[in-house]
Amino acid sequence: MPHLTTFADATAAYEAAEFVLLGVPFDRTTSFRPGARFGPDAIRAHSWNFESYDLETGIDLGEVPVHDLGNTEEYGSASDMATSVRDLLRPVYADGKVPIVLGGDHACAPPSVEAYPDGAPGLGVLYLDAHLDFRSSYLGDPRSHGCSSRRMLEKVGARNIVVFGVRSVSREEIDDNETIGMSFVTAHEIARDGIQASLQRALNMLKTDRLYVSLDIDAIDPAYAPATGTPEPFGLTPRDVKYILGAVAPRLAGFDIMEVAPDYDRGNTSALAARLVREAIVRSVAARPGH
Ligand SMILES: [Mn+2]
pLDDT digit string, tens, across residues 55-75? 999 999 999 999 999 999 999
Query: What is the percent of the chain where pLDDT is above 70?
Result: 99
Q: What's the 52 CA to ligand 1 centre distance in angstroms?
A: 30
Q: What's the 7 CA to ligand 1 centre distance in angstroms?
A: 24
Q: What's the 131 CA to ligand 1 centre distance in angstroms?
A: 5
Topology of 14-286 in CATH?
Arginase; Chain A (3.40.800)
d(CA 291, CA 269): 31
pLDDT digit string, tens, across residues 224-265? 999 999 999 999 999 999 999 999 999 999 999 999 999 999
Q: What's the 199 CA to ligand 1 centre distance in angstroms?
A: 19
Q: What's the 54 CA to ligand 1 centre distance in angstroms?
A: 29
Long-range contacts of 172-179 (CB under 8 A, 24+ apart): 172/135, 173/132, 173/134, 173/135, 176/134, 176/135, 176/136, 177/132, 177/134
Would you state the pLDDT for residue 22? 98
State yes or no: pLDDT of 2 exceeds 60. Answer: no
- Greater confidence (4 vs 130) lies with 130
State how far the alpha carbon of 113 is from the alpha carbons of 52, 82, 90, 93, 246, in Å: 29, 11, 10, 10, 20
Q: What's the 290 CA to ligand 1 centre distance in angstroms?
A: 37
Helices (H), 95-147: 110-114
Would you state the pLDDT for residue 4? 58
Of 214, 268, 271, the C-alpha closest to 44 is 271
Would you state the pLDDT for residue 290? 79
d(CA 2, CA 20): 20
Of 117, 100, 144, 105, the C-alpha closest to 9 is 100
**Do residues 274 and 47 touch, judged by C-beta distance below 8 A?**
yes
Q: What's the 146 CA to ligand 1 centre distance in angstroms?
A: 8
Q: What's the 185 CA to ligand 1 centre distance in angstroms?
A: 14
Q: What's the 133 CA to ligand 1 centre distance in angstroms?
A: 7
Would you state the pLDDT for residue 3? 46
pLDDT digit string, tens, across residues 186-215? 999 999 999 999 999 999 999 999 999 999
276-200-243 Cα angle (round to 5): 20
List, as ranges, residues with CB under 5 A of the ion ligand 1: 129-131, 216, 218
pLDDT digit string, tens, across residues 153-189? 999 999 999 999 999 999 999 999 999 999 999 999 9
State yes or no: pLDDT of 1 exceeds 90. Answer: no
For the residues 35-48, what does the mean pLDDT come to? Answer: 97
Mean pLDDT of the chain: 96
Q: What's the 269 CA to ligand 1 centre distance in angstroms?
A: 15
pLDDT digit string, tens, across residues 98-133? 999 999 999 999 999 999 999 999 999 999 999 999
Would you state the pLDDT for residue 289? 84
Q: What's the 127 CA to ligand 1 centre distance in angstroms?
A: 10
Q: What's the 258 CA to ligand 1 centre distance in angstroms?
A: 9
End-to-end CA distance of the chain: 40
Name the residue ranges covered by the structural domains of the chain.
Answer: 14-286
